[in-house]
Amino acid sequence: MARHAKSRTADLFAAGNTSPALPAPAPAPVPAPASASKPAYRPRPSEAPGGGVPPTPQTAARARSRQLWYAVVFPELIEADASAAKLQKLCMHAHAFTSLVSIEPPNALLLEIKGSLKLLGPLETLHANIDACWRQLALEASSATAPSTLAALWFARAGQPVRIEDLGMLAGRMAKLPIACTAWDADRLQTLRALGVTRMGDLLRLPRAGLTRRLGVGAVKDLDIALARQAAPRRAFVPRERFRERCDFESEIETTAYLEKAVEPLVERCARFLRERQAGVQTLRLKLRHRAGPATCVRLGLASITSERRRLMDVLIQKLERLELSAPVRGMELASGALQPLSAASLDAFAGLAGAGGRDTAPQLVERLRARLGEEAVYGVVSIPEHRPEAAWQRVRELRLASVLRAGEKTAVRGADHAMPRPVWLLDAPVPLDSELILEQGPERIESGWWDGRGVARDYYVARQIRAAHGAKLWVFQERRSKLWYLHGMFA
């Protein structure tokens, strides 16, 4: 009797058990054929319950053996914001060993290294080289290798630097792991501890149905993934592509005129790089290296996204003409900002033709003004949903002329809907009035801003001065509390 009870509670996650995490519904009975000439309908494999052809244990094992995962945990990365940025930088170092690198928040990386063994193997050498990369970066790390993602991650969290290639050894090596390495929530771990389960071996011997009922389907799915019985696709980290190229000069350059000629090949290659990817940039950085002293950095800002060599070169020449070299230049490096997709409007076959009247005339004008006057000297203005006139707009760096035109059209419509128009020209601050006025339209009462301590209570009018009856229209208001009059704007 005791032997029979033991067989029922044996390891239900053993290699021979290929049942899914949830019991699959029984297939519908096949109806009998209506006649001998019309065979009964049988579902195709793609119509099987759960979708796809149920794999046999042999095909599943062959598919699983094609993957080998290296997991590394960095205990120092605790803060969420800082760790996310740090992990992305570490992915760039991991790409030296494999093309498939995945981030596991908050402080771990997963590397698929099965394909790297032929080039950088064997496993002992490859694993040691990856570990040496983290030591060179002065990072404390715990790593492990296993045929599944979660198994490698759990070994790394537990601080066990194992290197498992054979799938048959995986369950036995996992048996000694503490259940805390799963990083499950506190309620699940407390439930397991109340049952006397502290190791993975104890957990794998529990009945599958009872474990699903107590811990949920997610926990059973994690165990299937860890034992490489269920696929677990990972999102690969894809670095943001940028253009970056440098060149060294045979002799030092002392004038900006020669620099303009020397930078042309770099700009040409940058434009070709962008065209091949159907992308554009809005920022560029030119780094000039000297024999001694710090490098000189020239930053370029574009009014709109572009990949045209002519526009890139035009802005760069404007910058170099105003540059004073502190020392002769030995080499230079051109780097782009983040690549951005080109809009459909910029893919015009006639947009790049020389001559006036092109659609890039306005952006080029903005870029030249910024190159000569400074990046902050040219800006755009956008409206804000605010009743107080002085707080209803703000400065922005982006200049979107189409948006400005649409905003102007909406403003005109709004002014037509209301009896009181509003001027575009506002003073920096209202000016007290001491002259007599002729009130032509009004009032428009504005009471707002009490929540931020800058509340206003005003009655606005369109007015003219008595002595200048045919002069410009003024936008004035009377302060409702003090009864004083102020000038706030002028109509064109």
More confident residue, 80 or 489: 489
Ranges 66-80, 237-251, 270-284, 359-373: which has the least confidence:
359-373
Task: State the Cα–Cα distance between residues 2 and 432, nearest whole angstrom.
Answer: 100
* pLDDT score at 271: 92
Quick one: pLDDT band at residue 178, thresholds 50, 70, 90? Answer: very high
Residue type at 62? R
Say if residue 467's pLDDT is above 80.
no
Q: Residue 5 pLDDT more than 80?
A: no
Residues present in the chain in total? 492
Tracing tokens 């001998």 back to the chain, one arrives at 36
Tell the CATH superfamily of the 63-226 domain. Answer: Reverse transcriptase/Diguanylate cyclase domain (3.30.70.270)
Look at residue 378 and tell me whether its pLDDT is greater than 50: yes
Burial class (CB in 10 A: 0-12, 13-18, 19+), 286: buried
Could you give the C-alpha distances from 469 to 52, 421, 437, 439, in angstroms and in order?
85, 19, 9, 11
Residue 470: the pLDDT is: 59
| 71 SS3 class | strand
Is the pLDDT score of 166 beyond 60? Answer: yes
- Distance from C-alpha of 228 to C-alpha of 382, rounded to nearest angstrom: 55
Which residues have CB under 8 Å from 434's CB, separation 6+? Answer: none
What is the per-residue pLDDT for 227? Answer: 92
Q: Which three-class secondary structure state does DSSP give residue 246?
A: strand
Higher per-residue pLDDT: 270 or 466: 270
80-93 burial: b if 16+ Cβ within 10 Å, else e: eeebeebbeebbeb
Q: Which residue has the higher pLDDT, 159 or 392?
A: 159
pLDDT computed for residue 46 by the predictor: 34
Between 122 and 391, name the one with better pLDDT: 122
Question: How big, in percent rounded to 5, are the helix, strand and coil portions of the chain?
Answer: 35, 25, 40
Kindly report, residue by residue over 382-420, the tens digit of the pLDDT. 777 777 787 777 777 666 544 444 444 444 334 434 557
Percentage of residues of the chain with pLDDT beyond 90: 32
Q: What is the pLDDT of residue 492?
A: 66
CA distance 334 to 18: 56
Look at residues 271, 288, 397 and name the one whose alpha carbon lies nearest to residue 333: 288
Domains 63-226 and 244-346+355-372 share a fold: no
Amino acid identity, residue 146?
A
Cα separation, 488 vs 425, in Å, equals 9
CA distance 429 to 258: 49
Contact 261, 253 (CB under 8 A): no
Percent of the chain with pLDDT over 70: 73
- The mean pLDDT of 109-137, rounded to a whole number, is 93
488 within 8 A of 389, measured Cβ to Cβ: yes
Dig out the tokens for 228 from the structure: 């490489």
Each domain of the chain, given as residue ranges in start order, spans 63-226, 244-346+355-372, 389-490
- Residue among 297, 327, 326, 299 nearest 315 (CA): 299
What is the chain's mean pLDDT, rounded?
A: 78
Question: How much is the pLDDT for 398?
Answer: 67
Q: How far apart are CA 236 and CA 71, in angstroms?
A: 14
pLDDT of residue 412: 38
pTM: 0.52
Decide the pairing of beta strands 244-253 and 329-336.
antiparallel
The arithmetic mean of pLDDT across residues 42-58, rounded, is 40
Can you give the pLDDT at residue 345? 53
Q: Which of 338, 263, 344, 353 is nearest to 308 (CA)?
A: 353
- Residue 122: is the preceding peptide bond cis (ω within 30°)? yes
Q: Which two tokens stand for residue 224?
A: 């299937």
Which of 301, 274, 291, 304 lies closest to 330 in space, CA to CA? Answer: 291
CB 13 within 8 A of CB 202: no
Could you tell me the CATH superfamily of domain 244-346+355-372? Answer: DNA polymerase, Y-family, little finger domain (3.30.1490.100)
- Predicted confidence (pLDDT) per residue in 62-110, tens digit: 444 578 999 999 998 876 666 788 898 999 999 999 989 999 988 999 9
SS3 383: strand
Question: Contact at 8 Å (CB) between 437 and 465?
Answer: yes
Per-residue pLDDT tens digits for 417-448: 455 788 877 888 889 987 777 888 888 888 88
Q: What is the pLDDT of residues 306-362, one digit of tens each?
A: 888 888 888 888 888 888 888 899 999 999 988 888 865 544 444 444 444 444 566
CA contacts within 13 A on the Cβ side of 408: 8
Q: What is the pLDDT of residue 157?
A: 95
